[in-house]
Amino acid sequence: MKQFFKFVFASMLGIFLSIVLFIIFISIITAGLINSSNSKVEIKDNSILHINLNYPILERANPNPLEDLEIGPIKKEKTLGLNDILKSIRYAKEDDQIKGIYLDASMVQAGMATVEEIRDELLNFKKSGKFVIAYSEVYTQKSYYLASAASKVYLNPVGYLELKGLSSNTMFFKGALNKLEIEPQVIKVGTFKSAVEPFILDKMSDANKLQMSSILNSIFEDFTGKIAIERKLAKDSVVSIANLLKVRTAEDALKYKLVDALKYKDEVLDELKSKTGIDKKKNLNTVSLSDYANNVKPENTSSNRIAVIYANGEINSGEGDQNTIGSEGISRAIRKARLDDKVKAIVLRVNSPGGSSLASDVIWRETVLAKKEKPFIVSMGDYAASGGYYISCAADSIFAEPNTITGSIGVFAILPNLKPFLNNKLGITFDGVKTGEFADFGQVTRPLTSAEKELLQQEVNKIYFDFTKRVAEGRKISQSYVDSIGQGRVWTGKQAIDLGLVDKIGHIEDAIKSAAKKAKIEDYRIMSYPEKKEGLLSILDKSGDKVKAYFLEKELGESYKYYKKLNETLHLKGVQALMPYSLNFE
């Protein structure tokens, strides 16, 4: 009996200590949240805004109240979303305490359309008469494109500037699947719907090469043209520099006038001190972009509202999160904005390669209802393709960047036949009974019958018909014309203008102004949807998934994106309206 009570008291003591430790932990976190939440920093006169974009730039930053805390090994690691970056640069333009921007353009982890928006905001900042100085030891093509907007571009004397043109590579799995005896059973509509090619081919089809060449050339033309304008060079010269890889050393970059001078960082800092009237022996007055964002005042407190609904990531059924579009979550956000009398117009910000055709149609329905009630404008980010275009096509007008990837109006389904793999590689066999011919339709343990293939093809054809019909109705063009420019083909925003898939080239700010004009309001404030969970709620919401993703990303580094893509592919369900690839223009 004495031994029994000993164990009972020990267990009770353990539980009590655990509760105490948990309360202490929560108290520390809460205190940190109170101290760090929206904490403003003191900005001195003659300060410089330091912009370092060395983190993945999302449409909106993921809510993470711990990012401001420094507790033991937990170090401050705050990131900003595109919306906060643009707002901060815009605010700094009118801030008398900010004399200029120091752009630390070493690495930019964002799509080309995102970079385009930040670059144009920097160009707009310069119109105030303030300077933008860019410096780096190494410029990737993307970071140099951003830096080319600066008043002065400096490079480390032994650094490197990359300008070599654009390319895109696709990984093909056919050989590996053949070795494993896995048969990918593909049903699709669209000559250019190449999302299935990696599973059935060992190289790009001619149609896919044609569309990829068209996309790359369109983006490259815009890319080199804008560099040429800001560097006061002939466009042909920039094209030649890239095509012939003329820049191989820092001296080459200076010779071809891609940079203004070769300097070490201390020399750049001395120049910044000189520009702001700071003695060289004293520290430069700088404020980081993340700190400065806390000082940005609300743009407006009007009762009139414009809802900006962020649809970011692949499209699936369910709630979704900051990195995926859930049909339930986004539909609810659109519906909430539609039913709110204070919301006078809606802007749907789409940054998606597509996904589930069913989930896309659920969201499309809400966009149609919203358009009947109030102005409904779409702003496209890096991608608004396939399902991403599906949810955009009903808008009053569509804005895109010249290098937005859009279109991809096509549908596919893929069902693996694992029978040879399971039988021959693992020695696993299957047998069973069924009540009807199609009772086990969709099983991966046997090949599709000809009747099942026909049924699946009919379903894919119907979804493609509905897709093209939605586009035709939304864009007020014929369905046959949509089919002619559809077929799964991907276009840039610049090309989509000529095809009638997009109305205007412009940023999200242009889309918002257009929505306000259509709603006939001049005084308004922006409301963002879906609402982000704040404080401890953001920690507790799917905390297990977030922790797992965090450590995986830290461990895998650059390889994490391949793991993530493979994991997404393995979890595809139903017929897909998905873009065939992601593009990387480093």
Q: CB count, 10 Å around CB of 575? A: 22
Q: Verify whether residue 106 is a known catalytic residue.
A: no
The dihedral built from the CA positions of residue 129, 130, 134 and 135, taken in this order, carries a sign that is positive
Two tokens, residue 244: 């012939």
Distance between CA atoms of 13 and 19, rounded to whole angstroms?
A: 10
The Cβ-side half-sphere exposure at 439, using a 13 Å CA radius, reads 6
DSSP state of 302: -
The CA distance from 217 to 214, in Å, is 5
Could you give the angle at the alpha carbon of 85 between the alpha carbons of 82 and 89, nearest 5°? 145
Residue 179: half-sphere exposure toward Cβ, Cα within 13 Å: 3
Phi, psi of 561, deg, nearest 5: -65, -30
Token pair for 398: 């569509």
Whether residue 430 contacts residue 445, with contact meaning beta carbons closer than 8 Å, is answered with: yes
**Radius of gyration over alpha carbons of the chain, in Å?**
27
Q: Are 421 and 447 in contact (CB under 8 A)?
A: no
Element (H, E) at 157: strand 152-161
The single-letter DSSP state of residue 62 is: P
Q: Is there a contact between 579 and 408 (Cβ–Cβ < 8 Å)? A: yes
Catalytic residue, from 136, 148, 356, 386: name it: 386
Phi, psi of 341, rounded to the nearest 5 degrees: -65, -25
What is the token pair recorded at 550? 């965090």
232 is catalytic: no
Distances (CA, A) of 246 to 237, 240, 242, 541: 11, 8, 7, 51
Among the listed residues 193, 263, 273, 344, the single catalytic one is 193
Smallest CA-to-CA distance from 495 within 404, 392, 389 is with: 404
What's the token pair of residue 265? 């960082």
Residue entry with tokens 């003591």:
13
**Pairwise CA distance, residues 269 & 266, whole Å:** 5
Exposed (0-12), middle (13-18) or buried (19+): which is 429, by Cβ within 10 Å? exposed
- Please check whether residue 434 is in contact with residue 417, taking contact to mean a CB–CB distance below 8 angstroms: no
Provide the annotated active-site residues. Answer: 193, 386
